[in-house]
């Protein structure tokens, strides 16, 4: 064995051993049953294996891919700059508590956030959890007199506009366009039936300009009013909140002790906020304090006495999940600006499983057909080409595992195609060798010429496909990128396996004995 042969042999053996080393955790991880894999808790042996296994794309294991845009239009310069990073932090906090293995949260461009949650089952719940602004405020409700004063003022304003013919109002309600919709009025709010809400919202939009800056109107969530009818309350609140969500130290969902079966969210305030809360409640005994979540009044309990302990609770018609999720978002903090989902891709777990099965099946059948053809057509030389192709696939998989590059369904397609393309290089070489043999050359000379002449062609054809793969990677979203990666790695590995490896085997044999015939 000469030096160059030794060098080649060592490189092939090392590459193969390293590949097997990197692939071993993947083999072990994916032989664990699906349900167990998904449910594996952090720091368990299975979870440790996952960190070294080939990551599957969302299209294969199911999951949620979201692109969200942060609406920064209402923020000032420095706030706007920090808003996206702050939003990412908040979303990460929320997701951590939701408990998803390997979430990905990334900034994209100036004002976008990409969130990927693999293996997720309840996409709707996750979206609600992530997308909710969760701006929590505690606002004092205006006294009945103050509220009445504002309602009267709005009535007068609207009546005036109606009389001037600038507003369409039901004639029977023309004197009091707003308050005549009230079913009944409480201290600081009016109660309306759901059917009247759209009309009243339209009226209020007209009267927006006369609401003083120190007050604001806010709707409640749907609730039961006097007489057991459900509807919505319209509150007059002090604009400036007494406390905000930042003062929440911890939040948890619990069953209401006095009303079994009803869920509520208990809040524990930070020590500083607790002091302020005690002060506010002390100064406003007898008034209503509204708990406002995302501009909607969740509840407005009466302050019966000074509350010193720094605890509060939010009650409402929660399912256990809703209460739990609300606790999560309140504890994680509010988003600095509203976010909207501009792109969403969800793949259910069953489709992911089907895709894996289909992809593997297609790859396997394709490979079988290629193997059969190569064996029949090129016999032992064909078998060598197949060995090279198998090494090629091994290297691609090992590369994915080693660099933690994601395997996607198009990625599997890329591997399947690579199988076809990988043997192409050997076909070029073998055809060239056959041609030289027909020309009367000895086996050894034919092999040498065949490799030399075919090499340039193989390099050319692989390079052009690599150019395309590079553009694919630039352009692609997740699954497509997976394809570009497997294709590119496959082509590079191809130069190694189809050219260097097979040549080494021929040289190894031909240096030892002179063949008169080659099985080709």
Partner 1 sequence: MLQLLIGTDIPFMKARRVAYLFSGALLLATLAWVLVNGGPKMSVDFAGGTLLQIQASRVLPVEDVRKTLDGLGLAGAEIQSTGGGDEFLLRFAKQGSADAFTRIRTALEARFPGTAVELRREETVGPKVGDELAGKAVWAILGSLLGILVYVGFRYEFKFAIGAVISLFHDVVIVFGILCFAGREMSLTVVAALLTLAGYSINDTIVVFDRIRERMKTLSKETHERAFDIAINETLSRTIITAFTVFLSSVALYFFGGEVINDFALAMVVGVVFGTYSSIYVASALALEMWNLYDRRRKPARARAA
- Which residues within the stretch 106-125 sit at the binding site for partner 1 (CB under 8 A)? 123-124
| Upper half-sphere CA count for residue 421 (Cβ side, 13 Å) | 26
Taking CB under 8 A as the binding criterion, the range among 26-34, 256-264, 478-486, 505-513 that sits at the site for partner 1 is: 478-486
One residue of 96, 452, 468, 511 binding partner 1 per CB under 8 A? 468
Minimum distance from residue 413 beta carbon to partner 1 (Å): 5
Are 334 and 90 spatial neighbours (Cβ–Cβ below 8 Å)? Answer: yes
Q: Give the helix ranges, DSSP H, for 40-188.
A: 45-50, 58-61, 77-98, 123-131, 144-163
One residue of 347, 391, 405, 443 binding partner 1 per CB under 8 A? 347
Q: Does 433 bind partner 1 (CB under 8 A)?
A: no
Q: Does 271 bind partner 1 (CB under 8 A)?
A: no
Which residues pair with residue 315 across a beta bridge?
264
One residue of 126, 248, 370, 394 binding partner 1 per CB under 8 A? 370
Q: Does 342 bind partner 1 (CB under 8 A)?
A: yes
Q: Rounded to whole angstroms, how far apart are CA atoms 512 and 520?
A: 19
- Max Cα-Cα span within the chain: 113
Determine what percent of the chain falls in helix, strand and coil, rounding each to the nearest 5: 60, 20, 25
One residue of 427, 492, 495, 500 binding partner 1 per CB under 8 A? 427
What is the DSSP secondary structure assignment for residue 495, as one 8-state letter?
A: I
Taking CB under 8 A as the binding criterion, the range among 166-174, 236-244, 246-254, 374-382 that sits at the site for partner 1 is: 374-382
Nearest to 499 by CA among 465, 443, 461, 467: 461
Q: Which of residues 192 and 326 has its CB atom nearest to partner 1 in the complex?
A: 326
One residue of 99, 369, 403, 452 binding partner 1 per CB under 8 A? 369
Q: Does 67 bind partner 1 (CB under 8 A)?
A: yes
Q: Does 487 bind partner 1 (CB under 8 A)?
A: yes
Q: Which of residues 117 and 159 has its CB atom nearest to partner 1 in the complex?
A: 117
Q: Which of residues 456 and 513 has its CB atom nearest to partner 1 in the complex?
A: 456
Nearest to 91 by CA among 146, 129, 145, 137: 129
Tokens of 176: 């009091």
Q: Rounded to whole angstroms, how far apart are CA atoms 14 and 500?
A: 14
What is the DSSP secondary structure assignment for residue 405, as one 8-state letter?
A: P
Q: Count other C-beta atoms under 10 Å from residue 66's C-beta.
A: 23
Q: Which of residues 42 and 438 has its CB atom nearest to partner 1 in the complex?
A: 438
Q: Does 221 bind partner 1 (CB under 8 A)?
A: no
Q: Does 477 bind partner 1 (CB under 8 A)?
A: yes
One residue of 373, 380, 452, 511 binding partner 1 per CB under 8 A? 373
């Amino acid at each position: 064995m000469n030096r160059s042969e030794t060098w080649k042999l060592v490189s092939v053996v090392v590459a193969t051993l390293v590949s097997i080393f990197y692939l071993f955790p993947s083999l072990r991880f994916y032989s664990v049953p699906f349900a167990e894999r998904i449910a594996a808790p952090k720091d368990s042996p299975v979870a440790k294996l996952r960190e070294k296994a080939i990551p599957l794309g969302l299209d294969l294991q199911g999951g949620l891919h979201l692109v969200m845009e942060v609406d920064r239009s209402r923020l000032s310069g420095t706030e706007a700059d920090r808003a996206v990073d702050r939003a990412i932090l908040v979303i990460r906090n929320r997701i951590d508590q939701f408990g998803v293995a390997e979430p990905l949260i990334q900034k994209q461009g100036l004002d976008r956030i990409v969130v990927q949650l693999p293996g997720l089952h309840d996409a709707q719940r996750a979206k609600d959890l992530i997308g909710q602004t969760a701006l929590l405020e505690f606002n004092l409700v205006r006294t009945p007199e103050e509220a009445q004063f504002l309602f009267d003022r709005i009535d007068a304003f609207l009546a005036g506009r109606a009389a001037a013919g600038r507003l369409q109002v039901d004639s029977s309600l023309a004197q009091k366009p707003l308050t005549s919709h009230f079913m009944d009025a409480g201290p600081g709010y009016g109660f309306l039936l759901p059917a009247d809400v759209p009309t009243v919202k339209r009226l209020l939009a007209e009267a927006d300009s006369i609401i003083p800056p120190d007050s604001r109107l806010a709707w409640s969530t749907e609730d039961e009013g006097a007489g057991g009818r459900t509807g919505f309350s319209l509150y007059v609140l002090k604009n400036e909140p007494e406390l905000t969500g930042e003062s929440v130290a911890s939040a948890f969902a619990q069953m209401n002790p006095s009303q079994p079966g009803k869920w509520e969210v208990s809040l524990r305030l930070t020590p500083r906020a607790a002091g302020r809360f005690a002060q506010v409640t002390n100064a406003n005994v007898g008034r209503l304090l509204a708990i406002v979540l995302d501009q909607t009044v969740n509840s407005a309990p009466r302050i019966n006495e000074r509350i010193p302990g720094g605890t509060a609770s939010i009650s409402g018609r929660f399912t256990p999940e809703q209460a739990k999720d609300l606790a999560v978002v309140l504890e994680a903090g509010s988003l600095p600006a509203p976010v909207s989902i501009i792109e969403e891709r969800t793949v259910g777990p069953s489709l992911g499983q089907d895709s894996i099965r289909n992809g593997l099946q297609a790859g396997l059948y394709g490979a079988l057909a290629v193997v059969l053809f190569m064996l029949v057509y090129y016999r032992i030389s064909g078998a060598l080409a197949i060995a090279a192709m198998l090494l090629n696939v091994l290297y691609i998989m090992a590369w994915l595992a080693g660099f933690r590059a994601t395997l996607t369904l198009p990625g599997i397609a890329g591997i399947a195609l690579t199988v076809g393309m990988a043997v192409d290089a050997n076909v070029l070489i073998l055809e060239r060798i056959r041609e030289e043999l027909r020309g009367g050359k000895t086996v050894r000379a034919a092999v040498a010429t065949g490799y030399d002449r075919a090499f340039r062609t193989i390099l050319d054809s692989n390079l052009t496909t690599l150019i395309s793969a590079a553009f694919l990677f630039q352009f692609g979203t997740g699954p497509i990128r997976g394809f570009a990666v497997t294709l590119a790695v496959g082509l590079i590995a191809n130069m190694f396996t189809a050219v260097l490896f097979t040549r080494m085997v021929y040289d190894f044999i031909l240096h030892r004995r002179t063949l008169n015939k080659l099985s080709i």
